Structures are given as C-alpha cells and as structure tokens.
Amino acid sequence: MTHSPSFDLKTRGGVTAGPEWIHDGDQPIAELQHVEVEQPEQNLRYFNKNTRPILLRSLSLAPHQKPLVDGVHLYWVLGRDIITSDVVDVSVEGRGSGHLRLTVITADPGGVATSRRIIDITYDEEDGSYVYEFACHLELHAPETFDLPGVESHSFEYSDPWFTDIPAPTIEFDGAWSGRGYDRLLAQSTDGSAWQMPLNHLATGITRPEQFAADSYFVLADATDTVPSPAFQFVGASAARTRVGVCNWGYDIHLAGQYSRDELYSDISERFRVRLCPPPVVQKMRQTAPRPPAVEFGGFDELPAYERLSSFSRGQKLNESAGDPGPWPWLPQGEGADWCHDTGRSDDHSLKIERERSGVSLWSMDREGEGAFTQRWRQSTGLRVSVWVKTRDLVGRGACLGLRWIIFNVPERHPIRVTDYVRGDADWTQLRLEITGPPPPEASAVEISLRQDGVGSSWFDDIEVEVL
C-alpha cells in the first residue's frame, strides 16, 4: 500500500506548553527535545558538560513502527569544552506536506562557533522508510582558537546518535525489555569491503574503517536479515571525512569529521541520514565481511559473564555476539587473575587469583545499577552480596569482597567497603556485604570486587547478588 505522509511539528499541551513532536498525520514519529538531563544520564551521555542538550529523540523509521533510533544530537562538540549548546532559534517549513524542514541554530557560550542544523524529513516509498537527512553546518568565528602550532589536523564531533534497544540489559530483571534480535554492526569501507562488529560490551575495540564509501550505511543488523534494519547513511563527501567511535554499550555511535588547518577558515558542512537499510544491502555486507578478529582483555579472549546468581561457569567470547541479554563480563585486574576450570565449590569453575609478589589483584564488575540499563533505583535501593572464598598459602591482608557506589567517569569518588579478610589455608568461607541507599545522586552503578591483597592463592565461587 502506498503511504502519503503529512508532516508537522506539534506542541502537546499540558499544564504548560508540553513537548514538541514531529507528526505524520496523527502519528508522532520523533520528539524535538530540549530539557534538563538528570543524573546519572547526564554524566554518562554528556559528561556533565551540556545540561540541556537539543536532540531529536524516539525516531520512528516507518509508519506505525516503534522508534528504532533513540536520539540524534543537534549540536557540535569542538574539543573537550567547546560545545554549541545554546539554542538560538528553531524554524519550521513545509507544515502539512510530505517534506518537513527544521532548522536548528545553536552556538557555544563563548562565541567561538555557530551551528546551523537543517533536518529534512521525507518518506521513501520504495523502501517504506522515513528519511531524516541532517545537514550539519558549522561556522567558526575564530578559527585561530584551534589553529595552533604543530596541529595539522582537527576532529570535530558533529553528532552522537544512539540506536534503540541495544544492548539488552546487562542482566535479566523483572520487566526487562527484550532486544529485537540485533547481533552486529555492519559498514562499508571506501574500497568496497565490508566491516562487522559483533554486539558485546568489549568488541568495540575492533578496528573500524578509516573512511566509509559514499552514501553507504552504518547498520544495526537484525540477525535474521529479513526485515529492514535501522542505519545511519553517510552522504557524499562526508563519508570519507567521517570517523566513527562506538561506546562499549554498542548503542552510542560518535560521528566526527576530520579537517585540515585550511578547512577551519571556511564553512564546514557534513551530511548524514537516519533511515531503514534494505535487507539485500544488509545481507551482502554480512556475507562478505571478514570474520571479526580476536578481541582480548587482560590476556583473555573469553571472560566469565556476570549473573546475579552464578558459579562462574558461563562465558562470553569477546569476538562474538553476546545475545539477549548482553551480559557484562567480570574483568581481571592485576597479577595472577585467572578464570579457573578445574576447582570450584559447586562445580569446576571459579575466579582465581594467584600472586607471587605482594600487592593487589581483583576480579571486578562495575555495571550493576541504574546507569547500566537495569531497573530504576529508589531511595531505598541497595545490594546484598554473598560469595564463597577458599585460600591456600595466602600471606598478607588476604582475600575479601568489596562494594562501592561508582560514577563511570570518576570511579574513585566513593570509598570501597570490604568484608573481613580471609588468609592462610582456609576452606570455603562465605563472605557477605551490603551497600544500602539512598544512592548518591550522581552514581551510575555499584562496583562488586573480588579482591586479594598478598602472596598466595584464592578462589571465589557461587556469588549471589540481591537487590534490596
């Protein structure tokens, strides 16, 4: 069936003027958002540097389809502290037609640059996809701000769009959503070769293309390849100038343009689209992309997956898709941290630490909490954790369980609380510890650490994590 869109920008009423939504007839398809962002999202997504970002949120990519893109930034990030965060004007053209145009003008507070973002919204009948085309114009009023001795190239982030529904929650919980079946990111380099990155939290270290083919897609691929997949499309010359960064959640795709010194002195412009990618394009990229290379962390190409009730038997291969939910792994730090498969309390698996020198080693998990896509925290929220530990010839402070509230970008802000230490030759001993609310307002999660301080060996097994 053909579809004749009728686009408009409508303000929903309430006690005061409500949110602004782009509509196709009576159906809202995307929200134009400019509101205060609270913690922990502010710290996670904006690093406490843009309190009221202007965004396009909850983008539907086809009529009567749920949103598949969660947000698109409508401003530039020009280095660490210069952001075109002040909204100057928003204008609308084409109301009630099949081509809506929004123009969003922003500037940085210091007057270094002005951004003019033009968003054209149309409908592609052949692919059954809404097309959101973003023209990202940047005028530098003082190029000399960036044109410094010895600096021959510059990287400016023109957007940081997020896919919806990935990753799945770090752990399962009551009411958790289920992923749509996505399993990897796909893209095409300028030489025509395909690239892939399986969806798991540590595969983001896989080398990405330095340049992309003109008008090619950066796709969140549905595992079945039978339905259109959400994608960002690099338009024209922007494809070759764009470098992509993928955060370790997988939903967060940083788009940055690369510029020479001379290019700072003329207007800068990048273009990309948000739309559905046709299944044949996805299928071809999947079929021709080389197998992902090995991914290592701390010498491991597979790590134990975090579960709230676990004997550490389940693993996550770091160059394979994590599935749904997409578990975060336990991470080793320090000498002698090993995933043991021949000693355990309830089976043959445990997390082992064996040190020949004095000092600290640990296994840690720091993605348990509201900032890690688990359930919402309340003032009364806390965790009760128990784990069993066995030691042999352990000299020093010993082995313990530790908990602390953390901020992902400032993890040392809050103190670590630990149990009594176990040392010497001790059979399986249960350690218990609680951390109780209210959580610090900026905290993102709770870090759980299995810690050895001293020379000798320890094995940790059969952990249980209870949300209070």
Residue 425 falls inside a structural domain? yes
For residue 154, give its domain range. 7-288
Q: Is residue 2 part of a domain?
A: no
Q: Answer for the pair 47, 17: CB distance below 8 angstroms, yes or no.
A: no
Tell me what the mean pLDDT of segment 109-117 comes to.
Answer: 97
Q: Is residue 201 part of a domain?
A: yes
The reply to whether 282 and 323 lie within a common domain is no
Q: How confident is the model at residue 274 (pLDDT cuts 50, 70, 90)?
A: very high
294 assigned to some structural domain? no
* Res 173: pLDDT: 72
Pair (325, 189) in one structural domain: no
Same domain, 280 and 307: no
Say which DSSP state 86 is in: E
Query: Domain check: are 149 and 218 in the same one?
Result: yes
pLDDT at 401: 98
The pLDDT of residue 152 is above 70? yes
What is the gyration radius of the CA atoms in the chain, in angstroms?
25
Give the Cα separation of 116 and 270 in Å (integer). 11
276 and 306 both lie in a single domain: no
CA-CA distance, 454 to 424, in Å (whole number)?
10
**By the 8 A CB rule, do 72 and 53 touch?**
no
Contacts of 295 (CB under 8 A, 6+ apart): 202, 203, 205, 206, 301, 318, 319
Q: Give the mean model confidence (pLDDT) for residues 272-299.
A: 95
Judged by DSSP in three states, 16 sits in coil
Domain boundary among 226, 255, 288: 288
Residue 179 included in any domain: yes
The CA distance from 34 to 160, in Å, is 16
Band (pLDDT 50/70/90 cuts) for residue 177 is low
Q: Of 260, 288, 316, which residue constitutes the final position of a domain? A: 288
Q: Is residue 398 part of a domain?
A: yes
Q: Which of 233, 266, 288 is the last residue of a domain?
A: 288
Residues 181-197: b if buried by 16+ CB within 10 A, e if exposed: ebbbbbbbbeeeebbbb
* Domains in the chain, number: 2
Confirm whether 225 is domain-assigned: yes
Whether residues 430 and 377 fall in one domain: yes
Does 90 fall in a domain?
Answer: yes
CB atoms within 10 A of CB 406: 24
Beta strand 113-124 pairing with 17-24: unpaired
Of 94-98, 155-159, 244-248, least confident by mean pLDDT is 244-248
The CATH number given to whatever domain includes residue 444 is 2.60.120.260
From the list 395, 401, 325, the residue with the least C-alpha distance to 167 is 325
Mark whether 104 and 56 lie in a shared domain. yes
| 100 and 203, same domain (yes or no) | yes
CATH code (residue 106)? 2.70.98
**Same domain, yes or no: 370 and 450:** yes
If asked whether residues 277 and 361 sit together in one domain, one would say no
